[in-house]
Structure 1
Amino acid sequence: MGSFLHVVFVGIICAALGAASWFATPRGKNQVLLRSSVLLSLTCCYLMWAITYLAQLHPLIVPRRSDLRMEY
């Protein structure tokens, strides 16, 4: 359960950064492009981090030690 809370907590931080960047972008003809770029970058970075973090916590293949004798 602890790993889930880490992912949610970082997700809330990324959402807050996205909301802050929404209001902090300067006005102009490229405002929509800047907003989209920042939000897309935050989303992609968060998803990459979350997938990597959760994959390391719960691997699909259990690692095996190769320096043990066969009877162990």
Structure 2
Amino acid sequence: MTFFHVVVVGAIIAAIAAVAWFITPKGKNQTLLRTSALMTLTCCYLMWAITYLAQLNPLITPRRSDLRAEY
């Protein structure tokens, strides 16, 4: 189920990127605007996905401090 969330959000971001590609106004800075929009969406998605997936399988397992040492 967790991988499903990453794929669904990725599909939503891809749809938003496609819309941003087609609604950028024509003109001198069209390439700059498209690149900025697509790079912003990509970087935000990657940051979210890496943070989300890192929390699912942490490198250091949390330990309870209220237990006795032999447990």
Per-residue deviation, 1:71: 2.2
Q: How many residues align?
A: 71
2: CA distance, partners of 1:29 / 1:6: 38
Which structure 1 residue ranges, 5 or more long, are not aligned? none
If asked which structure has higher relative contact order (CA below 8 Å, sep 6+), I would say: 1
Measured after TM superposition, the shift of residue 53 of structure 1 is 0.4
Identical counterparts, % of pairs: 72
TM-score of the aligned structures, taking structure 1 as reference length? 0.93
Q: Which runs of 4+ in 1 moved over 6 A?
A: none
Partners of 2:57 and 2:70 in 1: how far apart?
A: 27
Q: Which runs of 5+ in 2 are unaligned?
A: none
Residue matched to 1:67: 66
Instruction: Kindly provide the amino acid, as one letter, of the partner of residue 26 in structure 1.
Output: P
Deviations 1:18-71 (A, max 9, x none): 000000101110110000000000000000000000011111211111222212
- Tell me the C-alpha RMSD between the 2 structures: 0.8
- Normalised to the residue count of structure 2, the TM-score between the two structures is 0.94
